[in-house]
Structure 1
Protein backbone atom coordinates (compact mmCIF):
# COMPACT_ATOMS: atom_id res chain seq x y z
CA UNK A 1 0.00 0.00 0.00
CA UNK A 2 1.39 3.41 -1.02
CA UNK A 3 2.02 5.74 1.91
CA UNK A 4 0.73 9.31 1.64
CA UNK A 5 2.81 12.37 2.55
CA UNK A 6 1.59 13.87 5.81
CA UNK A 7 3.02 17.34 5.20
CA UNK A 8 2.96 17.97 1.44
CA UNK A 9 4.81 21.05 0.19
CA UNK A 10 3.11 23.23 -2.40
CA UNK A 11 4.84 24.44 -5.54
CA UNK A 12 4.51 28.01 -4.26
CA UNK A 13 6.39 27.28 -1.03
CA UNK A 14 9.02 25.24 -2.86
CA UNK A 15 9.56 28.02 -5.37
CA UNK A 16 9.96 30.58 -2.57
CA UNK A 17 12.53 28.41 -0.83
CA UNK A 18 14.44 27.97 -4.09
CA UNK A 19 14.36 31.73 -4.63
CA UNK A 20 15.67 32.24 -1.09
CA UNK A 21 18.52 29.89 -1.94
CA UNK A 22 19.45 32.05 -4.93
CA UNK A 23 19.39 35.21 -2.81
CA UNK A 24 21.44 33.57 -0.04
CA UNK A 25 24.12 32.38 -2.44
CA UNK A 26 24.36 35.81 -4.05
CA UNK A 27 24.54 37.39 -0.59
CA UNK A 28 27.47 35.22 0.47
CA UNK A 29 29.35 36.27 -2.67
CA UNK A 30 28.88 39.90 -1.63
CA UNK A 31 29.90 39.23 1.98
CA UNK A 32 32.90 37.26 0.74
CA UNK A 33 33.83 40.31 -1.29
CA UNK A 34 33.55 42.41 1.86
CA UNK A 35 36.05 40.09 3.53
CA UNK A 36 38.55 40.72 0.77
CA UNK A 37 37.81 44.44 0.41
CA UNK A 38 38.35 45.06 4.13
CA UNK A 39 41.66 43.13 4.07
CA UNK A 40 40.11 40.52 6.38
CA UNK A 41 40.95 37.50 4.23
CA UNK A 42 43.34 36.20 6.88
CA UNK A 43 41.30 37.46 9.81
CA UNK A 44 41.10 33.77 10.68
CA UNK A 45 44.62 32.67 9.74
CA UNK A 46 43.84 28.96 9.41
CA UNK A 47 41.03 26.60 8.41
CA UNK A 48 38.76 24.87 9.42
CA UNK A 49 39.62 26.40 12.79
CA UNK A 50 39.79 30.17 13.12
CA UNK A 51 43.03 29.85 15.09
CA UNK A 52 45.12 26.85 16.03
CA UNK A 53 43.24 26.63 19.33
CA UNK A 54 39.76 27.94 18.51
CA UNK A 55 37.00 27.48 15.97
CA UNK A 56 35.79 31.04 16.51
CA UNK A 57 37.37 34.47 16.45
CA UNK A 58 38.97 35.82 19.60
CA UNK A 59 38.98 39.42 20.88
CA UNK A 60 42.70 39.68 20.12
CA UNK A 61 41.99 39.19 16.39
CA UNK A 62 40.08 42.45 16.18
CA UNK A 63 37.59 43.48 13.54
CA UNK A 64 39.25 41.45 10.76
CA UNK A 65 38.70 38.26 12.71
CA UNK A 66 35.06 39.17 13.30
CA UNK A 67 34.46 39.86 9.59
CA UNK A 68 36.13 36.66 8.39
CA UNK A 69 34.50 34.49 11.06
CA UNK A 70 31.12 36.09 10.36
CA UNK A 71 31.38 35.17 6.70
CA UNK A 72 32.19 31.57 7.68
CA UNK A 73 29.08 31.44 9.84
CA UNK A 74 26.95 32.62 6.93
CA UNK A 75 27.92 29.44 5.09
CA UNK A 76 25.88 27.47 7.62
CA UNK A 77 22.84 29.68 7.02
CA UNK A 78 23.13 29.23 3.25
CA UNK A 79 23.54 25.48 3.74
CA UNK A 80 20.47 25.35 6.00
CA UNK A 81 18.37 26.96 3.28
CA UNK A 82 19.71 24.49 0.73
CA UNK A 83 18.88 21.60 3.06
CA UNK A 84 15.36 22.98 3.51
CA UNK A 85 14.98 23.01 -0.27
CA UNK A 86 16.02 19.34 -0.51
CA UNK A 87 13.50 18.36 2.17
CA UNK A 88 10.79 20.42 0.46
CA UNK A 89 11.52 18.72 -2.86
CA UNK A 90 11.12 15.31 -1.21
CA UNK A 91 7.77 16.36 0.28
CA UNK A 92 6.48 18.08 -2.86
CA UNK A 93 3.65 16.38 -4.71
CA UNK A 94 3.38 15.56 -7.46
CA UNK A 95 7.09 14.68 -7.65
CA UNK A 96 8.69 16.44 -10.62
CA UNK A 97 11.55 15.04 -12.64
CA UNK A 98 14.90 16.75 -12.25
CA UNK A 99 14.19 18.69 -9.06
CA UNK A 100 16.00 16.43 -6.60
CA UNK A 101 19.32 16.23 -8.50
CA UNK A 102 19.44 20.03 -8.77
CA UNK A 103 18.55 20.53 -5.11
CA UNK A 104 21.23 18.03 -4.04
CA UNK A 105 23.77 19.70 -6.34
CA UNK A 106 23.16 23.04 -4.63
CA UNK A 107 23.35 21.46 -1.18
CA UNK A 108 26.67 19.72 -1.83
CA UNK A 109 28.02 22.65 -3.82
CA UNK A 110 27.97 24.84 -0.72
CA UNK A 111 30.43 22.77 1.38
CA UNK A 112 32.56 22.24 -1.74
CA UNK A 113 32.71 25.99 -2.18
CA UNK A 114 33.55 26.36 1.53
CA UNK A 115 36.44 23.91 1.17
CA UNK A 116 37.85 25.98 -1.69
CA UNK A 117 37.49 28.99 0.59
CA UNK A 118 39.50 27.14 3.22
CA UNK A 119 42.20 26.40 0.66
CA UNK A 120 42.43 30.12 -0.11
CA UNK A 121 43.26 30.72 3.55
CA UNK A 122 45.75 27.84 3.72
CA UNK A 123 47.50 29.18 0.58
CA UNK A 124 47.67 32.70 2.02
CA UNK A 125 45.05 34.02 -0.41
CA UNK A 126 46.61 32.76 -3.60
CA UNK A 127 44.86 34.91 -6.25
CA UNK A 128 44.16 31.96 -8.56
CA UNK A 129 42.49 30.03 -5.76
CA UNK A 130 40.54 33.13 -4.72
CA UNK A 131 39.28 33.40 -8.29
CA UNK A 132 38.28 29.73 -8.26
CA UNK A 133 36.42 30.35 -4.99
CA UNK A 134 34.34 33.05 -6.71
CA UNK A 135 33.68 30.92 -9.79
CA UNK A 136 32.55 28.00 -7.62
CA UNK A 137 29.93 30.30 -6.15
CA UNK A 138 28.78 31.15 -9.67
CA UNK A 139 28.27 27.45 -10.40
CA UNK A 140 26.18 27.02 -7.26
CA UNK A 141 24.09 30.08 -8.16
CA UNK A 142 23.52 28.67 -11.65
CA UNK A 143 22.31 25.37 -10.19
CA UNK A 144 20.03 27.19 -7.74
CA UNK A 145 18.58 29.22 -10.61
CA UNK A 146 17.99 26.12 -12.72
CA UNK A 147 16.12 24.56 -9.81
CA UNK A 148 13.97 27.66 -9.33
CA UNK A 149 13.05 27.74 -13.01
CA UNK A 150 12.20 24.04 -13.05
CA UNK A 151 9.69 24.22 -10.19
CA UNK A 152 6.10 24.30 -11.37
CA UNK A 153 6.95 23.15 -14.86
CA UNK A 154 5.30 19.98 -16.17
CA UNK A 155 7.15 16.74 -16.71
CA UNK A 156 7.61 16.68 -20.44
CA UNK A 157 10.00 17.47 -23.27
CA UNK A 158 11.68 20.86 -23.62
CA UNK A 159 10.76 22.31 -26.98
CA UNK A 160 12.36 25.30 -28.71
CA UNK A 161 10.61 28.65 -28.70
CA UNK A 162 12.92 30.27 -31.26
CA UNK A 163 14.67 29.01 -34.41
CA UNK A 164 17.87 27.00 -34.07
CA UNK A 165 20.24 29.84 -35.15
CA UNK A 166 18.90 32.04 -32.35
CA UNK A 167 19.32 29.26 -29.82
CA UNK A 168 22.91 28.98 -30.94
CA UNK A 169 23.32 32.75 -30.56
CA UNK A 170 21.92 32.59 -27.03
CA UNK A 171 24.32 29.75 -26.18
CA UNK A 172 27.25 31.75 -27.59
CA UNK A 173 26.20 34.71 -25.46
CA UNK A 174 26.19 32.45 -22.39
CA UNK A 175 29.70 31.20 -23.18
CA UNK A 176 30.98 34.76 -23.62
CA UNK A 177 29.29 35.81 -20.38
CA UNK A 178 31.05 32.97 -18.54
CA UNK A 179 34.37 33.95 -20.13
CA UNK A 180 33.90 37.55 -18.99
CA UNK A 181 33.39 36.30 -15.43
CA UNK A 182 36.57 34.21 -15.59
CA UNK A 183 38.68 37.07 -16.96
CA UNK A 184 37.16 39.33 -14.32
CA UNK A 185 38.75 37.14 -11.64
CA UNK A 186 42.09 37.62 -13.38
CA UNK A 187 41.61 41.38 -13.24
CA UNK A 188 40.82 41.15 -9.54
CA UNK A 189 43.88 38.99 -8.96
CA UNK A 190 46.11 41.63 -10.50
CA UNK A 191 44.58 44.55 -8.59
CA UNK A 192 45.13 46.08 -5.16
CA UNK A 193 42.35 44.31 -3.20
CA UNK A 194 44.19 41.15 -2.24
CA UNK A 195 42.28 40.40 0.95
CA UNK A 196 45.39 40.96 3.07
CA UNK A 197 48.24 43.42 2.82
CA UNK A 198 50.78 40.63 2.49
CA UNK A 199 48.94 38.51 -0.08
CA UNK A 200 50.56 37.92 -3.46
CA UNK A 201 49.16 39.08 -6.80
CA UNK A 202 48.91 36.95 -9.96
CA UNK A 203 51.59 38.89 -11.82
CA UNK A 204 49.40 39.95 -14.76
CA UNK A 205 49.60 43.54 -15.95
CA UNK A 206 46.48 45.22 -14.51
CA UNK A 207 46.02 47.60 -17.44
CA UNK A 208 46.44 44.92 -20.11
CA UNK A 209 44.16 42.35 -18.49
CA UNK A 210 41.57 45.06 -17.77
CA UNK A 211 41.54 45.85 -21.49
CA UNK A 212 40.97 42.17 -22.30
CA UNK A 213 38.10 42.15 -19.83
CA UNK A 214 36.61 45.31 -21.36
CA UNK A 215 36.85 43.82 -24.86
CA UNK A 216 34.92 40.79 -23.66
CA UNK A 217 32.25 43.05 -22.16
CA UNK A 218 31.89 44.93 -25.47
CA UNK A 219 31.44 41.62 -27.27
CA UNK A 220 28.86 40.50 -24.72
CA UNK A 221 26.88 43.73 -25.07
CA UNK A 222 26.97 43.43 -28.85
CA UNK A 223 25.65 39.87 -28.73
CA UNK A 224 22.91 40.94 -26.32
CA UNK A 225 21.79 43.74 -28.65
CA UNK A 226 21.67 41.24 -31.50
CA UNK A 227 19.52 38.92 -29.38
CA UNK A 228 17.03 41.69 -28.62
CA UNK A 229 16.45 42.47 -32.30
CA UNK A 230 16.54 38.83 -33.38
CA UNK A 231 13.96 37.75 -30.82
CA UNK A 232 11.77 40.70 -31.75
CA UNK A 233 11.98 39.76 -35.42
CA UNK A 234 10.60 36.26 -34.78
CA UNK A 235 7.98 37.42 -32.30
CA UNK A 236 9.54 35.66 -29.29
CA UNK A 237 8.26 38.14 -26.70
CA UNK A 238 9.38 36.30 -23.58
CA UNK A 239 12.87 35.80 -24.95
CA UNK A 240 12.97 39.43 -26.07
CA UNK A 241 12.10 40.67 -22.58
CA UNK A 242 14.82 38.47 -21.09
CA UNK A 243 17.37 39.84 -23.56
CA UNK A 244 16.37 43.44 -22.79
CA UNK A 245 16.83 42.74 -19.09
CA UNK A 246 20.25 41.20 -19.75
CA UNK A 247 21.29 44.24 -21.76
CA UNK A 248 20.14 46.61 -19.00
CA UNK A 249 22.08 44.67 -16.35
CA UNK A 250 25.18 44.60 -18.56
CA UNK A 251 25.06 48.36 -19.13
CA UNK A 252 24.69 49.02 -15.42
CA UNK A 253 27.55 46.65 -14.66
CA UNK A 254 29.66 48.28 -17.36
CA UNK A 255 29.12 51.74 -15.90
CA UNK A 256 30.19 50.51 -12.45
CA UNK A 257 33.22 48.79 -13.97
CA UNK A 258 34.45 51.86 -15.84
CA UNK A 259 33.84 54.20 -12.91
CA UNK A 260 35.68 51.92 -10.48
CA UNK A 261 38.61 51.63 -12.90
CA UNK A 262 39.01 55.36 -13.39
CA UNK A 263 38.51 56.13 -9.68
CA UNK A 264 41.25 53.65 -8.68
CA UNK A 265 38.99 50.84 -7.45
CA UNK A 266 37.17 52.14 -4.35
CA UNK A 267 36.01 49.25 -2.21
CA UNK A 268 32.31 50.17 -2.37
CA UNK A 269 32.24 50.10 -6.16
CA UNK A 270 34.22 46.87 -6.31
CA UNK A 271 31.65 45.27 -4.03
CA UNK A 272 28.82 46.59 -6.22
CA UNK A 273 30.62 45.16 -9.25
CA UNK A 274 30.72 41.72 -7.60
CA UNK A 275 26.96 41.90 -7.02
CA UNK A 276 26.57 42.96 -10.64
CA UNK A 277 28.51 39.89 -11.77
CA UNK A 278 25.93 37.66 -10.08
CA UNK A 279 23.10 39.58 -11.72
CA UNK A 280 24.71 39.30 -15.14
CA UNK A 281 24.98 35.54 -14.68
CA UNK A 282 21.33 35.23 -13.67
CA UNK A 283 20.15 37.45 -16.52
CA UNK A 284 22.19 35.42 -18.99
CA UNK A 285 20.69 32.17 -17.75
CA UNK A 286 17.22 33.71 -18.05
CA UNK A 287 17.87 34.43 -21.74
CA UNK A 288 19.16 30.92 -22.37
CA UNK A 289 16.20 29.29 -20.63
CA UNK A 290 13.74 31.47 -22.56
CA UNK A 291 14.78 29.80 -25.82
CA UNK A 292 13.20 26.53 -24.73
CA UNK A 293 9.98 25.67 -22.94
CA UNK A 294 8.96 22.54 -21.12
CA UNK A 295 5.56 21.26 -22.19
CA UNK A 296 3.40 18.47 -20.82
CA UNK A 297 3.89 15.03 -22.28
CA UNK A 298 1.01 14.46 -24.68
CA UNK A 299 -1.36 11.78 -23.53
CA UNK A 300 -2.03 9.17 -26.19
CA UNK A 301 -5.75 8.81 -26.88
CA UNK A 302 -7.27 5.64 -25.55
CA UNK A 303 -7.82 3.01 -28.20
CA UNK A 304 -11.45 2.76 -29.18
CA UNK A 305 -13.10 -0.51 -28.32
CA UNK A 306 -13.85 -2.58 -31.45
CA UNK A 307 -17.46 -2.50 -32.45
CA UNK A 308 -19.32 -5.76 -31.83
CA UNK A 309 -20.14 -7.62 -35.02
CA UNK A 310 -23.84 -8.41 -35.10
CA UNK A 311 -24.42 -12.10 -34.95
CA UNK A 312 -26.61 -13.95 -37.41
CA UNK A 313 -30.20 -14.47 -36.24
CA UNK A 314 -30.83 -17.78 -34.62
CA UNK A 315 -33.69 -19.66 -36.35
CA UNK A 316 -36.68 -20.37 -34.19
CA UNK A 317 -37.17 -23.93 -33.07
CA UNK A 318 -39.77 -25.91 -35.00
Structure 2
Protein backbone atom coordinates (compact mmCIF):
# COMPACT_ATOMS: atom_id res chain seq x y z
CA UNK A 1 0.00 0.00 0.00
CA UNK A 2 2.85 2.36 0.90
CA UNK A 3 4.50 1.60 -2.44
CA UNK A 4 1.28 2.47 -4.27
CA UNK A 5 1.07 5.80 -2.41
CA UNK A 6 4.70 6.53 -3.23
CA UNK A 7 4.09 5.78 -6.89
CA UNK A 8 0.97 7.97 -6.90
CA UNK A 9 2.88 10.85 -5.30
CA UNK A 10 5.67 10.43 -7.85
CA UNK A 11 3.17 10.57 -10.71
CA UNK A 12 0.79 13.28 -9.51
CA UNK A 13 2.96 15.58 -7.32
CA UNK A 14 4.62 17.24 -10.36
CA UNK A 15 1.13 18.10 -11.59
CA UNK A 16 0.62 20.21 -8.46
CA UNK A 17 3.63 22.35 -9.40
CA UNK A 18 2.45 25.54 -11.18
CA UNK A 19 5.70 25.65 -13.15
CA UNK A 20 4.78 22.38 -14.86
CA UNK A 21 1.40 23.82 -15.84
CA UNK A 22 3.14 26.92 -17.22
CA UNK A 23 5.31 24.78 -19.49
CA UNK A 24 2.52 22.35 -20.40
CA UNK A 25 0.02 25.14 -21.09
CA UNK A 26 2.60 26.99 -23.15
CA UNK A 27 3.36 23.98 -25.31
CA UNK A 28 -0.37 23.32 -25.81
CA UNK A 29 -1.09 26.89 -26.89
CA UNK A 30 1.95 26.91 -29.19
CA UNK A 31 0.66 23.69 -30.77
CA UNK A 32 -2.83 25.15 -31.21
CA UNK A 33 -1.45 28.37 -32.61
CA UNK A 34 0.80 26.54 -35.04
CA UNK A 35 -2.11 24.58 -36.51
CA UNK A 36 -4.58 27.45 -36.37
CA UNK A 37 -5.08 27.54 -40.12
CA UNK A 38 -7.24 24.43 -39.80
CA UNK A 39 -9.53 25.26 -36.89
CA UNK A 40 -9.52 29.06 -37.25
CA UNK A 41 -11.61 28.75 -40.43
CA UNK A 42 -14.61 27.91 -38.24
CA UNK A 43 -17.22 30.71 -38.18
CA UNK A 44 -17.26 30.46 -34.36
CA UNK A 45 -13.53 31.28 -34.00
CA UNK A 46 -12.56 34.98 -34.34
CA UNK A 47 -9.76 35.86 -36.78
CA UNK A 48 -6.35 36.19 -35.12
CA UNK A 49 -7.06 33.65 -32.37
CA UNK A 50 -4.24 31.39 -33.57
CA UNK A 51 -1.72 34.23 -33.39
CA UNK A 52 -2.87 35.13 -29.89
CA UNK A 53 -2.50 31.49 -28.78
CA UNK A 54 0.99 31.38 -30.25
CA UNK A 55 2.13 34.56 -28.45
CA UNK A 56 0.57 33.61 -25.09
CA UNK A 57 1.93 30.07 -25.39
CA UNK A 58 5.45 31.36 -26.06
CA UNK A 59 5.24 33.67 -23.05
CA UNK A 60 3.98 30.87 -20.76
CA UNK A 61 6.58 28.42 -21.97
CA UNK A 62 9.39 30.94 -21.59
CA UNK A 63 8.19 31.90 -18.12
CA UNK A 64 8.05 28.23 -17.06
CA UNK A 65 11.57 27.50 -18.30
CA UNK A 66 12.89 30.68 -16.68
CA UNK A 67 11.23 29.71 -13.39
CA UNK A 68 12.88 26.27 -13.51
CA UNK A 69 16.28 27.88 -14.02
CA UNK A 70 15.66 30.34 -11.22
CA UNK A 71 14.88 27.46 -8.84
CA UNK A 72 18.58 26.62 -8.82
CA UNK A 73 20.24 28.22 -5.81
CA UNK A 74 23.49 29.05 -7.60
CA UNK A 75 21.74 30.78 -10.47
CA UNK A 76 19.46 32.68 -8.10
CA UNK A 77 22.46 34.12 -6.26
CA UNK A 78 24.16 34.94 -9.56
CA UNK A 79 21.03 36.59 -10.97
CA UNK A 80 20.42 38.70 -7.86
CA UNK A 81 24.05 39.80 -7.93
CA UNK A 82 23.93 40.84 -11.60
CA UNK A 83 20.61 42.67 -11.26
CA UNK A 84 21.92 44.53 -8.22
CA UNK A 85 25.05 45.57 -10.09
CA UNK A 86 23.14 46.71 -13.16
CA UNK A 87 20.83 48.95 -11.12
CA UNK A 88 23.16 50.15 -8.35
CA UNK A 89 26.65 49.82 -9.80
CA UNK A 90 26.55 49.82 -13.61
CA UNK A 91 30.08 51.19 -13.79
CA UNK A 92 31.32 47.91 -12.26
CA UNK A 93 29.53 45.77 -14.87
CA UNK A 94 30.43 47.48 -18.15
CA UNK A 95 33.20 49.75 -19.36
CA UNK A 96 32.66 53.49 -19.68
CA UNK A 97 32.70 53.12 -23.47
CA UNK A 98 30.00 50.43 -23.39
CA UNK A 99 27.92 52.41 -20.88
CA UNK A 100 27.97 55.40 -23.26
CA UNK A 101 26.88 53.15 -26.13
CA UNK A 102 23.97 51.73 -24.13
CA UNK A 103 22.99 55.23 -23.00
CA UNK A 104 22.94 56.30 -26.66
CA UNK A 105 20.57 53.45 -27.55
CA UNK A 106 18.27 54.19 -24.60
CA UNK A 107 18.15 57.93 -25.31
CA UNK A 108 17.45 57.29 -28.97
CA UNK A 109 14.50 55.09 -28.07
CA UNK A 110 13.11 57.75 -25.70
CA UNK A 111 13.38 60.43 -28.39
CA UNK A 112 11.94 58.28 -31.19
CA UNK A 113 8.26 59.16 -30.55
CA UNK A 114 9.13 62.86 -30.76
CA UNK A 115 11.88 62.74 -33.40
CA UNK A 116 11.29 59.54 -35.38
CA UNK A 117 13.82 60.39 -38.11
CA UNK A 118 16.34 62.41 -36.10
CA UNK A 119 16.28 60.49 -32.78
CA UNK A 120 19.74 58.93 -33.24
CA UNK A 121 21.33 62.22 -34.32
CA UNK A 122 19.71 64.04 -31.39
CA UNK A 123 20.91 61.39 -28.92
CA UNK A 124 24.43 61.70 -30.31
CA UNK A 125 24.41 65.48 -29.91
CA UNK A 126 23.24 65.15 -26.30
CA UNK A 127 26.03 62.66 -25.60
CA UNK A 128 28.62 64.96 -27.15
CA UNK A 129 27.35 67.84 -25.03
CA UNK A 130 27.19 66.06 -21.69
CA UNK A 131 29.13 62.77 -21.77
CA UNK A 132 32.37 63.12 -23.74
CA UNK A 133 35.14 65.37 -22.44
CA UNK A 134 32.82 66.60 -19.67
CA UNK A 135 33.25 63.34 -17.75
CA UNK A 136 36.97 63.69 -17.06
CA UNK A 137 36.57 66.28 -14.30
CA UNK A 138 34.06 68.69 -12.83
CA UNK A 139 34.19 71.82 -10.68
CA UNK A 140 32.94 72.50 -7.17
CA UNK A 141 32.74 75.63 -5.00
CA UNK A 142 33.40 77.93 -7.97
CA UNK A 143 33.80 81.69 -7.47
CA UNK A 144 34.24 84.10 -10.40
CA UNK A 145 35.30 87.57 -9.37
CA UNK A 146 35.35 90.64 -11.65
CA UNK A 147 36.78 94.10 -11.00
CA UNK A 148 35.84 96.35 -13.91
CA UNK A 149 37.29 99.78 -14.71
CA UNK A 150 35.79 101.89 -17.52
CA UNK A 151 38.25 104.41 -18.99
CA UNK A 152 37.17 108.07 -19.10
CA UNK A 153 38.33 109.18 -22.54
CA UNK A 154 38.17 105.95 -24.57
CA UNK A 155 35.65 103.21 -25.21
CA UNK A 156 37.84 100.61 -23.49
CA UNK A 157 37.34 98.93 -20.13
CA UNK A 158 39.79 96.82 -18.13
CA UNK A 159 38.79 93.62 -16.38
CA UNK A 160 40.61 91.91 -13.51
CA UNK A 161 39.14 88.43 -13.48
CA UNK A 162 39.89 85.98 -10.69
CA UNK A 163 38.44 82.46 -10.45
CA UNK A 164 38.80 79.90 -7.68
CA UNK A 165 37.49 76.35 -7.74
CA UNK A 166 37.94 72.78 -6.63
CA UNK A 167 38.60 70.43 -9.56
CA UNK A 168 37.34 66.86 -8.97
CA UNK A 169 39.04 64.31 -11.24
CA UNK A 170 37.33 61.17 -12.51
CA UNK A 171 39.00 57.88 -11.43
CA UNK A 172 38.05 56.35 -14.80
CA UNK A 173 40.81 58.15 -16.71
CA UNK A 174 44.55 57.54 -16.38
CA UNK A 175 45.51 60.81 -18.09
CA UNK A 176 43.62 64.07 -17.58
CA UNK A 177 44.72 67.34 -19.16
CA UNK A 178 43.08 70.40 -17.65
CA UNK A 179 42.21 72.76 -20.50
CA UNK A 180 40.34 76.05 -20.53
CA UNK A 181 40.22 79.04 -22.78
CA UNK A 182 39.44 82.68 -22.22
CA UNK A 183 38.42 85.11 -24.94
CA UNK A 184 39.40 88.74 -25.31
CA UNK A 185 39.02 91.19 -28.17
CA UNK A 186 42.61 92.35 -27.66
CA UNK A 187 45.84 90.35 -27.70
CA UNK A 188 46.70 91.89 -24.35
CA UNK A 189 44.92 89.20 -22.33
CA UNK A 190 47.39 88.38 -19.57
CA UNK A 191 47.47 85.57 -17.04
CA UNK A 192 48.72 87.37 -13.95
CA UNK A 193 49.00 84.34 -11.67
CA UNK A 194 48.22 80.63 -11.46
CA UNK A 195 47.89 78.98 -8.06
CA UNK A 196 47.41 75.21 -7.73
CA UNK A 197 46.88 73.66 -4.29
CA UNK A 198 47.80 76.99 -2.66
CA UNK A 199 51.18 77.02 -4.46
CA UNK A 200 52.20 79.60 -7.07
CA UNK A 201 52.91 77.86 -10.40
CA UNK A 202 55.08 79.21 -13.22
CA UNK A 203 52.95 80.45 -16.09
CA UNK A 204 55.56 79.58 -18.69
CA UNK A 205 54.55 76.49 -20.61
CA UNK A 206 50.90 76.38 -19.48
CA UNK A 207 49.46 79.35 -21.42
CA UNK A 208 49.41 79.63 -25.19
CA UNK A 209 47.58 81.46 -27.98
CA UNK A 210 44.92 79.48 -29.81
CA UNK A 211 46.26 79.11 -33.39
CA UNK A 212 42.69 78.92 -34.75
CA UNK A 213 41.57 82.12 -33.03
CA UNK A 214 44.12 84.58 -31.72
CA UNK A 215 41.49 86.14 -29.46
CA UNK A 216 41.65 83.00 -27.33
CA UNK A 217 44.29 82.10 -24.79
CA UNK A 218 44.50 78.42 -23.84
CA UNK A 219 45.50 77.31 -20.35
CA UNK A 220 46.58 73.67 -20.31
CA UNK A 221 48.40 71.40 -17.81
CA UNK A 222 48.53 67.82 -16.55
CA UNK A 223 45.90 67.64 -13.79
CA UNK A 224 47.06 64.25 -12.50
CA UNK A 225 50.46 65.74 -11.70
CA UNK A 226 48.90 68.06 -9.09
CA UNK A 227 46.09 65.86 -7.80
CA UNK A 228 45.72 64.75 -4.19
CA UNK A 229 43.28 62.55 -2.30
CA UNK A 230 40.48 64.07 -0.26
CA UNK A 231 38.83 62.84 2.93
CA UNK A 232 36.11 61.08 0.93
CA UNK A 233 38.64 59.32 -1.31
CA UNK A 234 38.08 61.64 -4.27
CA UNK A 235 41.00 62.81 -6.40
CA UNK A 236 41.10 66.61 -6.63
CA UNK A 237 43.12 69.81 -6.82
CA UNK A 238 42.36 73.44 -6.00
CA UNK A 239 42.86 76.05 -8.69
CA UNK A 240 43.04 79.84 -8.70
CA UNK A 241 43.59 81.95 -11.82
CA UNK A 242 43.97 85.72 -12.16
CA UNK A 243 43.57 87.29 -15.62
CA UNK A 244 43.68 90.88 -16.80
CA UNK A 245 42.37 91.99 -20.18
CA UNK A 246 40.67 94.85 -22.04
CA UNK A 247 37.56 95.01 -24.18
CA UNK A 248 35.83 97.64 -26.27
CA UNK A 249 32.45 98.94 -25.13
CA UNK A 250 31.42 99.72 -28.72
CA UNK A 251 32.23 96.37 -30.30
CA UNK A 252 32.37 93.86 -27.44
CA UNK A 253 30.70 95.05 -24.20
CA UNK A 254 29.78 91.53 -23.04
CA UNK A 255 31.66 89.20 -20.73
CA UNK A 256 30.27 85.77 -21.58
CA UNK A 257 30.78 82.61 -19.57
CA UNK A 258 29.35 79.35 -20.91
CA UNK A 259 30.09 76.35 -18.71
CA UNK A 260 31.84 73.46 -20.44
CA UNK A 261 31.81 71.24 -17.32
CA UNK A 262 29.46 70.15 -14.59
CA UNK A 263 29.63 72.65 -11.73
CA UNK A 264 28.48 72.09 -8.16
CA UNK A 265 28.04 75.37 -6.33
CA UNK A 266 28.89 78.66 -8.07
CA UNK A 267 28.96 82.36 -7.21
CA UNK A 268 29.82 85.41 -9.33
CA UNK A 269 31.14 88.60 -7.69
CA UNK A 270 31.32 91.95 -9.56
CA UNK A 271 32.59 95.35 -8.55
CA UNK A 272 32.97 98.53 -10.62
CA UNK A 273 36.18 100.35 -9.70
CA UNK A 274 35.24 103.43 -11.75
CA UNK A 275 32.21 105.67 -11.26
CA UNK A 276 31.46 106.06 -14.96
CA UNK A 277 30.32 102.49 -15.58
CA UNK A 278 27.69 99.98 -14.62
CA UNK A 279 26.81 96.44 -15.62
CA UNK A 280 23.83 94.20 -16.28
CA UNK A 281 23.97 90.55 -15.16
CA UNK A 282 21.86 87.73 -16.59
CA UNK A 283 22.22 83.98 -16.40
CA UNK A 284 21.97 81.97 -19.62
CA UNK A 285 21.06 78.49 -20.78
CA UNK A 286 18.21 76.28 -19.66
CA UNK A 287 17.15 76.65 -16.03
CA UNK A 288 17.47 73.65 -13.72
CA UNK A 289 16.37 75.79 -10.74
CA UNK A 290 15.65 79.42 -9.94
CA UNK A 291 18.69 81.40 -8.85
CA UNK A 292 18.24 84.04 -6.13
CA UNK A 293 18.38 87.70 -7.10
CA UNK A 294 21.80 89.44 -7.02
CA UNK A 295 22.59 91.47 -3.92
CA UNK A 296 25.31 93.90 -2.78
CA UNK A 297 27.36 92.79 0.22
CA UNK A 298 28.90 95.21 2.78
CA UNK A 299 32.28 94.97 0.99
CA UNK A 300 30.72 96.50 -2.13
CA UNK A 301 30.60 93.37 -4.28
CA UNK A 302 27.47 92.49 -6.22
CA UNK A 303 27.02 88.77 -5.55
CA UNK A 304 25.12 86.52 -7.93
CA UNK A 305 24.49 82.99 -6.66
CA UNK A 306 24.14 80.78 -9.72
CA UNK A 307 24.06 77.58 -7.68
CA UNK A 308 24.22 76.89 -3.97
CA UNK A 309 26.82 74.52 -2.56
CA UNK A 310 24.86 71.33 -3.28
CA UNK A 311 23.16 72.47 -6.50
CA UNK A 312 24.38 71.36 -9.92
CA UNK A 313 24.87 73.44 -13.06
CA UNK A 314 25.09 71.62 -16.39
CA UNK A 315 27.33 72.27 -19.42
CA UNK A 316 25.74 74.98 -21.54
CA UNK A 317 24.51 77.04 -18.62
CA UNK A 318 26.32 80.24 -17.73
CA UNK A 319 25.94 84.02 -17.57
CA UNK A 320 26.53 87.31 -19.39
CA UNK A 321 27.89 90.54 -17.93
CA UNK A 322 27.16 93.56 -20.11
CA UNK A 323 29.28 96.64 -19.30
CA UNK A 324 27.74 100.08 -19.94
CA UNK A 325 29.35 103.51 -19.81
CA UNK A 326 27.36 106.18 -17.94
**What is the TM-score with the length of structure 2 in the denominator?**
0.23
Larger radius of gyration: 2
Structure with a larger share of its residues in helix:
1
Higher-strand-fraction structure: 2
Q: TM-score, normalised by structure 1?
A: 0.24
